Chain A
Amino acid sequence: MSALTRTPATYGAGSKGRVPSRGTASVIAFGAPLACIALIALLAPLLPLSNPNAQVLSEALRPPAWLEGGDWSSPLGTDQLGRDVLSRLVFGGQLTFVIAFTGMVAGAVPGILLGLLAGYRRGWVDAVISRLVEAQLALPFILVAIAIIAANGRSLPILVAVLALVGWAQYARVIRAETLSLRERPFVLGLRCAGVPTWRIMLGHLLPNLAGSATVLATLQMGTIVLAESALSFLGLGVVAPDISWGAMLAEGREQLTLAWWVALLPGLAITAVVLLVNLFGDALRSRFDPKKRSF
């Protein structure tokens, strides 16, 4: 039987060298500035910046350099205690990014695993997890945060735990829905019939196929977490001095808003810009990962 050993034409090999699509372009367009901001914030200790907590009361509430009375020794002005706003912005950004990232991971890991479990096992496992998700989504976040922080005091680990609590339910909900449809695909049946254990199917096969959605969700969640952290710090439930975050700066600056707008406005702008960029980046990623928009 010669036909049996003949190799059918190898097609589709060309799809490896795909031309970058418009989706890829916008991923880069929004990702690059975001990466720059994150890099600057994370490299803060290496940059030629003054100590963000050094108080020089005689220099208090100096406006940004380009305004009357400004000085290039503090390009973005100083706050009510004479601390350099630029330096505080960069160091505050560092903590903001670290908190956003750890909060995102701390929410993503349990959320994704529970979503996978609920969607794959269904039945009572799904019922229990889904009720938990609904309960979590029904509770006002600020209320939960106040309760936890009142009971446990303010500290970074508590803050990250609170932020993880905001996120996990979203992951669980989205991943559960995707798993429900993915598990009906014949390849899952094929793996079961080959005897591949359930945990291997979930972690080795379903998870990689959900990676696109999970990445998009994680990105969008980072935006939400930056906002949530800012809100908590603004309410005095977030980071504790001498730690600096943008939300804390916003809170401290609000008393001087009429006198010295830059102290509150600049961290506010930083939050807005980063959240906007993160959301645009997440949307770009979403259209990049959406299988219906793929070229194959």
Chain B
Amino acid sequence: MVAGRTILDVKALSIVHPGRRGKPASTAVDGVDLSVGAGEIVGVVGESGSGKTSLAMAVLGLGRTTSGSIDVDGIVPGPRLPLDQRAAIQMVFQDPHGSLDPRQSIGRGLRELRRLHKARTGWISDEDLLSRVGLSGDVLTRLPHQISGGQAQRVSIARALLLRPTLLLADEPTSALDVSVQAQILRLLKGLRDEEGLTILFISHDLAVVRSVCDRVYVMKSGRVVESGRTGEVLERPQHPYTQALLAAVPGGDARIPGLEAPAAEAPQVLRDELSQSRLATAGETA
């Protein structure tokens, strides 16, 4: 892991969805600047409709962009990327079962990816890959409806990992899961970052979830970033009224995911220094 290398660099990104059938055009993302360093887990938090998914789809290269630029480690995401660049940006979706072809067994799905990306996928066997995400080899023969939501989400993560992405996008990856399963998936994502230096852009509307996994966080409201910085600082001393309102809306005001400690203590020292600097920088901008 090269500390401090920027993996995702979003500059002045705007996304306007054209209105359909009489509805006016809506600005989903409005001049967003955002960056994610190698090995970081960066959160994007905001209420529903604040433009988080639009942002993620644009970074994936399969969504709309109106203006601004996106750079993923030298790749400009788009719908017609060469296979190898396509594999470099992977995404995990909210609906665990909906993310898998209902008629394709888990093993056949992995085989399809291996056939498509021969050179990229040889690094690990199916069994090792599955054990990496906490699953045993017997899920290989199962169809998606024969595994639980938590298992399906692990399979989705495994499918993404198989392609060795430089950036993993996770759009509300735990919102459809029970709280206990939620904690397991979050622990898995953190483990992948800690042990393999996976870089993750983590999207959620849930402050407790963001607090437990993200090193840094961007708070979005109506398509704009209203506040950003190290997770602990943003959530402990929120500057923007919107963040304060979001925090006040969480029951108890200090929700944490049981079994997950605050991330700052776990982040490598170099990274932590980097993070506090960037916190200062963005705090200066928003002040």
B277 lies within 8 A of chain A by Cβ: no
B188 lies within 8 A of chain A by Cβ: yes
Whether A205 pairs with B101 at a CB distance below 8 angstroms is yes
Whether A12 pairs with B104 at a CB distance below 8 angstroms is no
Contact partners of A296 in chain B: CB under 8 A: 145
B187 lies within 8 A of chain A by Cβ: yes
Whether B146 pairs with A8 at a CB distance below 8 angstroms is no
Whether B116 pairs with A187 at a CB distance below 8 angstroms is no
Among candidates B87, B95, B100, residue contacting A195 with C-beta atoms closer than 8 Å = B87
Known: A4-B188, A195-B117. A16 touches B146 (CB 8 A): yes
Question: Which 10 A-B residue pairs are closest in the complex by CB-CB distance?
Answer: A195-B86, A186-B93, A7-B136, A208-B103, A12-B146, A186-B98, A186-B99, A195-B83, A187-B101, A296-B145
Chosen A-B contacts, 10 in total, with CB atoms closer than 8 Å, are A4-B187, A8-B135, A8-B150, A13-B142, A186-B94, A187-B102, A193-B91, A194-B87, A195-B117, A196-B112
Chain B nearest Cβ from A290, distance in angstroms: 14
Contact partners of B91 in chain A: CB under 8 A: 189-190, 193
Whether B159 pairs with A194 at a CB distance below 8 angstroms is yes
Interface string of A1-24 (1 = CB under 8 A from B): 101111111111101100000000
Contact partners of A293 in chain B: CB under 8 A: none
Interface string of B144-161 (1 = CB under 8 A from A): 011110110000100100
Chain A nearest Cβ from B281, distance in angstroms: 31
B170 lies within 8 A of chain A by Cβ: no
A209 lies within 8 A of chain B by Cβ: yes
Among candidates A5, A7, A194, residue contacting B113 with C-beta atoms closer than 8 Å = A194
Closest to A190 in B: B99
Known: A13-B142, A187-B100. 4 other contacts (CB 8 A): A1-B191, A10-B136, A193-B90, A194-B163
Contact partners of A3 in chain B: CB under 8 A: 134, 184, 187
Interface of A is mostly: helix
Whether B101 pairs with A12 at a CB distance below 8 angstroms is no
Q: How far is the CA of A296 from the CA of B271 in the complex (A)?
A: 46
Q: How far is the CA of A193 from the CA of B100 in the complex (A)?
A: 13
Q: How far is the CA of A9 from the CA of B181 in the complex (A)?
A: 12
Contact partners of A15 in chain B: CB under 8 A: 145-146
Contact partners of A211 in chain B: CB under 8 A: 103
Q: How far is the CA of A3 from the CA of B191 in the complex (A)?
A: 11
Contact partners of A127 in chain B: CB under 8 A: none
Known: A4-B187, A7-B135, A12-B148. A189 touches B101 (CB 8 A): no
Contact partners of A7 in chain B: CB under 8 A: 134-136
Closest to B82 in A: A195
Q: How far is the CA of A208 from the CA of B112 in the complex (A)?
A: 15
Closest to B194 in A: A1
Interchain pairs with CB closer than 8 A, number: 95
Among candidates B99, B138, B148, B188, residue contacting A187 with C-beta atoms closer than 8 Å = B99
Closest to B145 in A: A296
Interface residue ranges, B against A (CB under 8 Å): 60, 62, 81, 83, 86-87, 89-91, 93-95, 98-104, 112-113, 116-117, 131, 134-136, 138-139, 142, 145-148, 150-151, 156, 159, 163, 181, 184, 187-188, 191
Contact partners of A196 in chain B: CB under 8 A: 112, 116
Closest to B87 in A: A195
Whether A193 pairs with B89 at a CB distance below 8 angstroms is yes
Chain A residues 1 to 52 lying within 8 A of chain B, measured CB to CB, are 1, 3-13, 15-16
Contact partners of A65 in chain B: CB under 8 A: none
Contact partners of B148 in chain A: CB under 8 A: 8-9, 11-12
Whether B98 pairs with A185 at a CB distance below 8 angstroms is yes
Contact partners of B89 in chain A: CB under 8 A: 193
Contact partners of B181 in chain A: CB under 8 A: 8
Contact partners of B136 in chain A: CB under 8 A: 7, 10
Closest to B147 in A: A12
Contact partners of A209 in chain B: CB under 8 A: 101-103
Closest to B169 in A: A193
Q: How far is the CA of A196 from the CA of B138 in the complex (A)?
A: 25
Known: A16-B146, A189-B62, A189-B93. A4 touches B104 (CB 8 A): no
Chain B nearest Cβ from A165, distance in angstroms: 31
Q: How far is the CA of A194 from the CA of B142 in the complex (A)?
A: 21
Chain A residues 88 to 145 lying within 8 A of chain B, measured CB to CB, are none
Question: Which of B91, B103, B147 has the most chain A CB atoms inside 10 A of its CB?
Answer: B103
Whether B191 pairs with A4 at a CB distance below 8 angstroms is yes
Whether B187 pairs with A193 at a CB distance below 8 angstroms is no
Interface string of A50-94 (1 = CB under 8 A from B): 000000000000000000000000000000000000000000000
Q: How far is the CA of A166 from the CA of B183 in the complex (A)?
A: 56
Chain B nearest Cβ from A204, distance in angstroms: 8
Among candidates A8, A191, A195, A205, residue contacting B134 with C-beta atoms closer than 8 Å = A8
Contact partners of A191 in chain B: CB under 8 A: 101
Among candidates A12, A193, A205, A208, residue contacting B60 with C-beta atoms closer than 8 Å = A193
Q: How far is the CA of A65 from the CA of B62 in the complex (A)?
A: 73
Closest to B154 in A: A8
Closest to A204 in B: B112
